[in-house]
């Protein structure tokens, strides 16, 4: 139960007949045993299970959070495919494979790309 009381102010009363009101808030936090307790999930369900993104051949906006798409330069355009993998824990990123002419020069460690 929560209860809040504001004491009356004695300064600058406008009228001697002014009545002071009390504000009371009640909150019942007890949980009935007859209904199950709901614990919300920490991670929401994914809306999509895969996404395919397009990266034009430019690195003009290279900076934090732009390097994911901006550095995918190979010819005129690159496509990057992302998939939800149930074996990867929520909040973590895993790079499974990198394809392309310089794939052997790129690391599959996501910490080497993220700021």
pLDDT digits (tens, 9 = 90+) for 51-62: 888 766 655 555
3-state helix, strand, coil in the chain (%, to 5): 10, 10, 80
pLDDT-based confidence at 113, cuts 50/70/90?
A: confident
The residue ranking higher by pLDDT, 35 or 101, is 101
pLDDT at 32 over 50: yes
Give the Å distances, CA to CA, from 24 to 1, 7, 28, 30.
11, 12, 13, 19
Q: Return the structure tokens found at 63.
A: 């900076």
What pLDDT, on the 0 to 100 scale, is given for residue 110? 83
**Quick one: which of 28, 75, 31, 83 has its CA closest to 55?**
75
CB atoms within 10 A of CB 66: 12
Question: How many Å apart are CA 12 and CA 16, to the nearest integer?
Answer: 10
What pLDDT, on the 0 to 100 scale, is given for residue 73? 55
What pLDDT, on the 0 to 100 scale, is given for residue 69? 55
Question: How many Å apart are CA 78 and CA 71, to the nearest integer?
Answer: 10
pLDDT-based confidence at 101, cuts 50/70/90?
A: confident
pLDDT at 12 over 60: no
């Amino acid at each position: 139960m929560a209860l809040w009381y504001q004491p009356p102010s004695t300064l600058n009363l406008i009228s001697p007949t002014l009545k002071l009101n009390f504000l009371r808030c009640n909150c019942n936090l007890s949980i009935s045993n007859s209904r199950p307790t709901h614990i919300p999930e920490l991670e929401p369900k994914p809306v999509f299970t895969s996404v395919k993104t397009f990266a034009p051949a430019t690195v003009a906006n290279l900076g934090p959070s732009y390097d994911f798409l901006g550095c995918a330069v190979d010819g005129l355009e690159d496509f990057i495919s992302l998939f939800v993998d149930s074996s990867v824990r929520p909040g973590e990123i895993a790079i499974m494979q990198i394809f392309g002419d310089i794939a052997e020069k790129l690391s599959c460690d996501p910490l080497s790309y993220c700021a």
